[in-house]
């Protein structure tokens, strides 16, 4: 096929991308160099670097940055650990039953982040389902504070993004040739050894793809940290919201968003390269 | 022959509802207006007389929930009966502010409900109209409600508290009693409640609402905060259980929770005072449906709508013609309570909001 035709294939997506992402993004860049004038919301359009220098002049922004990444890393690892056994279980089923279970696993996503978070809110409250249950069984004496803590936010994120990991992981587990397991067993490998030397390396690209999706979703999450964090856990999403929608300092919030998107873009690019490396290694070893 | 008869019968059956429909529609238009206007005051009836809003759609940005229900029952029917369509854009104030600013040269929203603190800024920026007596009900508004737009309802920031911990309704200074340290619920910042709480702390500490340094230091004495409330269910649940003894809350919200059977009470502080809160109806400048927007505004300020706000969510009337009695009068900012409210310098608060937010984030939220 000629290159000209190939371009025609991407046109619809490209058009949409330019219209709903690129154009607003460029406007955001323009805004980020304008000056916020206290007392009015009409920003001064003269050029300034000040919004960017402010980002580096105060350690507070670094703190939010660090916390956002920390929460995303912990949540992604937790998702990874939880979804491996689940995915192995799913991949061992026959195709029809697996279809049903996969659908069930993705079902909570239909409700969207808001509904799920409301559910968690009710469960994690000081006198919510979980605490009442534990108090009722006399396992704890005082209610555990989940809401307004990083733990609460992480619980919410892990649950909502689990399906993003399960799907790529299950398909990469299914792609592993069953005979490799048989060979490993024949050679005397016990299940843990098989898991660490066969399953993990061969499914790593799928896990990596899932991890990137989950990590990105955690970094940019807003509903979960703002609701379960109760205004105490400032992360990128909640801080951008505070600056743009509550303080209405649009120039500064633009520069904040641009800086965050660019720096996160670099991190994700690095992860993608790592994932490619893993795939190469896998191909090379076989 | 039978076939012809059949066709004739069918035709007449078909025509009957058309004819009947035609006649009922004519009478129903006046009927619908009469029905929709039931209980409306004469001033509003006169203002709306002979108005026809056919083929016009009014876009109104407003909060959802019970406010939406009230609006749909008290304002929308009278306009729909006159041919108008109404589209409600439900959501928070921040989204609406962004929309009217972005679209300020070509607005799609006609009516925009804002809070007291941002409405003056929007008006000064030329995004919303300066209020005036082209709306007859404007002259009936208390002077305190003629600022930054058409004041829709009064509320007061007072103290919601658990009565088991207080012998008498607390004053602001009582929140600083050592035994309550770590048990005072905090509002979030920026926002009316958080900004007013900071001002109260500043006044208590230094007698000067502009002294934010003193205010922040005073607030820190209350920390750690058990909760920055974004959700009143949780605040009042924790208050009922005694994990929080008191918190600055807007009067109307507190009373609706009292109705839900929570063990909470509300105090209108008199020392320093109860801080004036107000939701404000603004008409977007250069909007496409000026006549319809004016009609909406008149209906919103009319005693019928204002009374519904007061009775159902304890949002006190800004129209001085509204009469409330008994418990409803007690729970609303009404009568002499209107004059006792203290007003803050919201324009100053807005000017310093960006810096204060950073400070609040660092010194209050991140306090460990």
Give the tens place of pLDDT for each residue, A180-212.
989 999 998 888 898 888 899 889 889 999 999
Query: Over the range A176-213, which residues count as b (16 or more CB within 10 Å of their CB) and which as e?
Result: beeeebeebeeeebeeeebeeebbeebbbbbbbbbbbb
Enumerate residues 78 to 137 of chain A having a beta carbon within 8 A of any beta carbon in chain B. 121, 125-127
**B367: which chain A residues are within 8 Å (Cβ-Cβ)?**
none
Determine the pLDDT at residue B25. Answer: 52
Tokens standing for B280? Answer: 């404000």
Query: B290 and B161 in contact (C-beta within 8 Å)?
Result: no
Q: Is A219 a domain residue?
A: yes
Chain B residues touching residue A226 (CB < 8 angstroms):
230
A126: helix, strand or coil: coil
Residue of B nearest to A58 (CA): B358
**A77-129 pLDDT tens trace:** 999 999 999 999 999 998 899 999 998 888 888 877 788 888 898 899 888 89
Which residues from B are below 8 Å from A148, CB to CB? 227-228
- H helix runs in chain B, sequence order: 2-36, 42-48, 66-74, 76-80, 93-102, 116-124, 192-206, 212-220, 232-241, 251-259, 290-301, 303-313, 326-331, 336-340, 346-351, 353-360
User: Rounded to whole angstroms, how far apart are CA atoms B119 and B112?
Assistant: 10
Domain topology for B42-154+277-335: D-Maltodextrin-Binding Protein; domain 2 (3.40.190)
Averaged pLDDT, A27-34: 92
Query: Mean pLDDT across the stretch A27-52?
Result: 87
Distance CA B296, CA B298 (A): 6
C-alpha B172/C-alpha B272 separation (Å) is 8
Which chain B residues are within 8 Å of A66, Cβ to Cβ?
A: none
Query: Quick one: tokens of A222?
Result: 């807003």
What three-state secondary structure class fits B295?
helix
> Which pLDDT does position A178 carry in this prediction?
87
Report how far residue A84's alpha carbon sits from residue A87's, in angstroms, rounded to the nearest whole number.
Answer: 5
CATH, residue A102: 1.10.3720.10
Residue A210, in any domain of the structure: yes
Task: Note down the domain range covering A218.
Answer: 68-233
Specify whether the CB–CB gap between B33 and B78 falls below 8 A.
yes
Give the H/E segment covering residue B271: none
Mean pLDDT score, A42-58: 86
What is the token pair recorded at A150? 């990083």
- Mark residue B112 as left, alpha or beta (left: phi above 0; alpha: psi -120 to 50; beta: remaining): beta
- Ordered by start, the domain boundaries in chain B are 42-154+277-335, 155-276+344-365
Cβ within 8 Å, pair B125-A40: yes
The Cα A68–Cα B245 span in angstroms is 32
Task: Say yes or no for a CB contact (<8 Å) between B234 and A246.
Answer: no
Residue of B nearest to A55 (CA): B358
At B69 the pLDDT is 96
What is the crossing angle of helices A200-219 and A59-91, to 10°?
140
Alpha-carbon A148 to chain mean position = 20
| C-alpha distance from A240 to closest chain B C-alpha (Å) | 12
Cβ-based contacts of A67 with chain B (< 8 Å): none
Give A227's contacts in chain B (Cβ within 8 Å): 230-231
The minimum CA-CA distance between B152 and chain A, rounded to whole Å, is 21
Q: Which member of B97, B229, B354 has the closest CB to residue A38?
A: B354
What pLDDT shows up at residue B6? 60
Residue pair B235/B227 in contact (Cβ under 8 Å)? The answer is yes
Nearest CB neighbour to A126, from listed B125, B238, B347:
B238
Q: Which residue of A lies nearest to B238 if distances are taken between CA atoms?
A: A126
State how many domains chain A has. 1
Q: What is the mean pLDDT of residues A9-36?
A: 90
Q: Are the beta carbons of A252 and B354 separated by less than 8 Å?
A: yes
Residue showing tokens 């050679």: A187
Is B241 in contact with A126 (Cβ distance < 8 A)? yes
Is residue A51, in this structure, part of any structural domain at all? no
Cβ <8 Å between B190 and A242: yes
- Which residue is associated with the tokens 């203002």? B47
CB contact under 8 A, B188 and A126: no
Q: In terms of CA atoms, which chain B residue is nearest residue A229?
A: B228
Q: Is A77 among the domain residues?
A: yes
Residues of A with Cβ-Cβ distance to B351 under 8 angstroms: 38-39
- The answer to whether B77 and B97 are in contact (CB under 8 A) is no
**A282: confidence class by pLDDT, cuts 50, 70, 90:** low
In B, minimum Cα distance to A252 occurs at B354
Q: Which two tokens stand for residue B339?
A: 């004059």
Structure token digits, residue B121 = 């800024």
Q: What is the pLDDT of residues B295-309, one digit of tens each?
A: 999 999 999 999 999
Residues of chain B contacting A144 with CB distance shorter than 8 Å: none
pLDDT (tens digit per residue) in A221-235: 998 998 898 878 999
Architecture of the structural domain at B155-276+344-365:
3-Layer(aba) Sandwich (3.40)
Distance CA B284, CA B101 (A): 10
Per DSSP, what are the bridge partners of residue B316? Answer: B154
In chain B, how many H helices and how many E strands? 16, 8
Closest CA to B278 of B153, B111, B140: B153
Check residue B129 and give its pLDDT. 97
What pLDDT tens digit does each residue of chain B (368 aa) get?
566 666 555 555 555 444 444 445 555 788 889 999 999 999 999 999 999 999 999 999 999 999 999 999 999 999 999 999 999 999 989 889 999 998 999 999 999 999 998 899 999 999 999 999 999 999 999 999 999 999 999 999 999 999 999 999 999 999 999 999 999 999 998 889 999 999 999 999 999 999 999 999 999 999 988 888 887 888 898 898 888 999 999 999 999 888 888 889 999 999 999 999 999 999 999 999 999 999 999 999 999 999 999 999 999 999 999 999 999 999 999 989 999 999 999 989 988 888 899 999 999 988 87
pLDDT at A3: 65
What pLDDT score was predicted for residue A107? Answer: 86
């Amino acid at each position: 096929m000629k290159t000209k035709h190939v371009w025609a294939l991407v046109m619809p997506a490209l058009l949409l991308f330019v219209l709903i992402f690129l154009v607003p993004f460029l406007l955001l860049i323009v805004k980020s160099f304008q000056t916020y004038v206290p007392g009015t919301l009409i920003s001064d359009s003269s050029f300034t670097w000040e919004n960017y220098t402010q980002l580096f002049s105060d350690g507070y922004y670094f703190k939010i940055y660090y916390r956002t990444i920390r929460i995303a890393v912990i949540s992604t690892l937790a998702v990874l650990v939880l979804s491996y056994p689940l995915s192995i279980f799913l991949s061992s089923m026959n195709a029809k039953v697996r279809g049903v279970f996969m659908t069930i696993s993705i079902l909570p996503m239909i409700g969207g982040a808001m509904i799920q978070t409301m559910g968690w809110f009710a469960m994690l409250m000081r006198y919510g389902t979980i605490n009442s249950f534990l108090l009722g069984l006399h396992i704890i004496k005082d209610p555990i504070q989940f809401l307004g803590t990083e733990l609460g936010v992480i619980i919410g994120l892990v649950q909502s993004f689990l399906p993003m990991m399960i799907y790529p992981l299950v398909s990469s587990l299914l792609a592993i040739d069953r005979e490799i397991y048989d060979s490993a067993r024949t050679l005397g490998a016990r299940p843990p050894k098989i898991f660490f030397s066969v399953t993990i390396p061969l499914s790593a690209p799928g896990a990596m793809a899932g991890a990137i999706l989950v990590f990105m979703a955690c970094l940019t999450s807003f509903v979960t940290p703002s609701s379960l964090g109760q205004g105490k856990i400032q992360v990128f999403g909640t801080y951008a919201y505070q600056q743009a929608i509550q303080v209405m300092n649009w120039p500064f919030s633009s520069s904040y968003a641009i800086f965050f998107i660019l720096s996160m873009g670099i991190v994700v690019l690095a992860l993608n390269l790592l994932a490619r490396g893993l795939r190469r290694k896998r191909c090379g070893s076989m | 022959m039978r076939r012809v008869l059949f066709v004739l019968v069918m035709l007449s059956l078909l025509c009957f509802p058309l004819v009947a429909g035609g006649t009922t529609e004519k009478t129903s238009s006046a009927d619908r207006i009469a029905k929709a206007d039931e209980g409306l005051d004469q001033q509003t009836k006169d203002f709306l007389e002979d108005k026809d809003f056919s083929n016009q759609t009014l876009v109104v940005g407003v909060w959802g929930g019970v406010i939406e229900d009230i609006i749909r029952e008290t304002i929308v029917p009278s306009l729909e009966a006159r041919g108008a369509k109404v589209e409600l854009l439900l959501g928070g104030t921040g989204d609406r502010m962004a929309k009217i600013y972005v679209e300020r040269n070509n607005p799609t929203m006609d009516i925009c409900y804002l809070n007291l603190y941002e409405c003056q800024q929007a008006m000064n920026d030329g995004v919303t109209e300066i209020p005036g007596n082209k709306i007859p009900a404007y002259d009936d508004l208390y002077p305190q409600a003629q600022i930054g737009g058409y004041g829709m309802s009064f509320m007061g920031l007072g103290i919601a508290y658990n009565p088991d911990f207080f012998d008498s309704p607390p004053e602001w200074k009582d929140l600083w009693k050592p035994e309550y340290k770590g048990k005072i619920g905090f509002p979030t910042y920026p926002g009316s409640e958080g900004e007013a709480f900071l001002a109260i702390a500043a006044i208590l500490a230094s007698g000067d609402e502009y002294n934010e340094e003193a205010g922040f230091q005073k607030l820190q004495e209350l920390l750690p905060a058990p909760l920055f409330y974004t959700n009143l269910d949780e605040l009042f649940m924790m208050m009922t259980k005694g994990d929080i003894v008191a918190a600055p809350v807007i009067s109307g919200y507190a009373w609706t929770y009292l109705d839900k059977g929570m063990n909470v009470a509300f105090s209108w502080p008199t020392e320093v005072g109860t801080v004036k809160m107000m939701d404000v109806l603004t008409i977007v400048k250069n909007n496409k449906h000026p006549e319809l927007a004016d009609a909406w505004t008149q209906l919103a300020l009319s005693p019928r709508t204002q009374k519904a706000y007061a009775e159902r969510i304890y949002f006190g009337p800004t129209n001085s013609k509204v009469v409330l009695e008994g418990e409803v009068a007690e729970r609303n900012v009404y009568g002499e309570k209107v004059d006792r409210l203290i007003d803050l310098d919201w324009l100053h608060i807005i000017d310093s909001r960006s810096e204060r937010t950073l400070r609040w984030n660092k010194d209050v939220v991140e306090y460990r």
